Amino acid sequence: MGTSAEIALRENYQRISYVLEGAEDIAIVKALKEIHDNIELQHFFEGLLGSNPALTELTAITAGYGCDPQQWHREMDAEGSPALYGRTFSHAYTLFIALQDTTAGMGGTEICPGTHHCSDDYLEEICEANKNGMHQVSGLGYWPVGSAALLNHPTFHRGGAHLDKDADERVVFIVSFVARPNDMRQLPHGTFYHMKWNMW
């Protein structure tokens, strides 16, 4: 994984975000091929975004023991999102994939359902009161390896605190998609476009 001397830690949370290249490791190639070849997922994404959606983010985020929870956040600015201006900005979606069985104590992903309809940027109290951890949604007490959550970019979410000193670092694989420009709408503002330059 690397040490804090080698890699800058995000906001000192013991949380590292890796921007990935599609062919830098055989595991990434296999993961992308599995996503691409899943017919149900293809139909689902094309139903949301139209034919041949564009990959805009390829990232892995880790959470090591002792990291604090992220702030509640969305992947786009409210002022530049379809939640507020549906005729101006197109939609974007992110697929979060668990790379190991992930418990709440490992800092599993938490979501605030329904906030993709909200244009308010200050929903921390609402999200704290109504959050769902992916470990809860599964009904197993943990988020199983290979399971995924698909979020519309205006949805508030966060990585939780890693509180289990006996657990591994939590790693989640993240891929984001937008519609290709086929209408007059702009791409969402504030959306993360995390990809290495040679994948543009």
Q: Which residue has the tokens 């070849």?
A: 37
Question: With contact defined as beta carbons under 8 Å apart, do 99 and 147 qualify?
Answer: no
In a domain, 110, yes or no: yes
Question: For 37-72, how does the pLDDT look when each residue is reduced to its tens digit (9 = 90+)?
Answer: 999 999 999 998 888 888 889 999 999 999 999 999
81: closest CA among 72, 73, 89?
89
Question: For 107-124, how does the pLDDT look when each residue is reduced to its tens digit (9 = 90+)?
Answer: 999 999 988 888 777 788
What three-state secondary structure class fits 45?
A: helix
Helix (H) or strand (E) holding 63: strand 54-63
What three-state secondary structure class fits 177?
A: strand
What three-state secondary structure class fits 8?
A: coil
In a domain, 155, yes or no: yes
CATH code for the domain of 36? 2.60.120.620
Domain count, the chain: 1
Containing structural domain, residue 87: 10-199
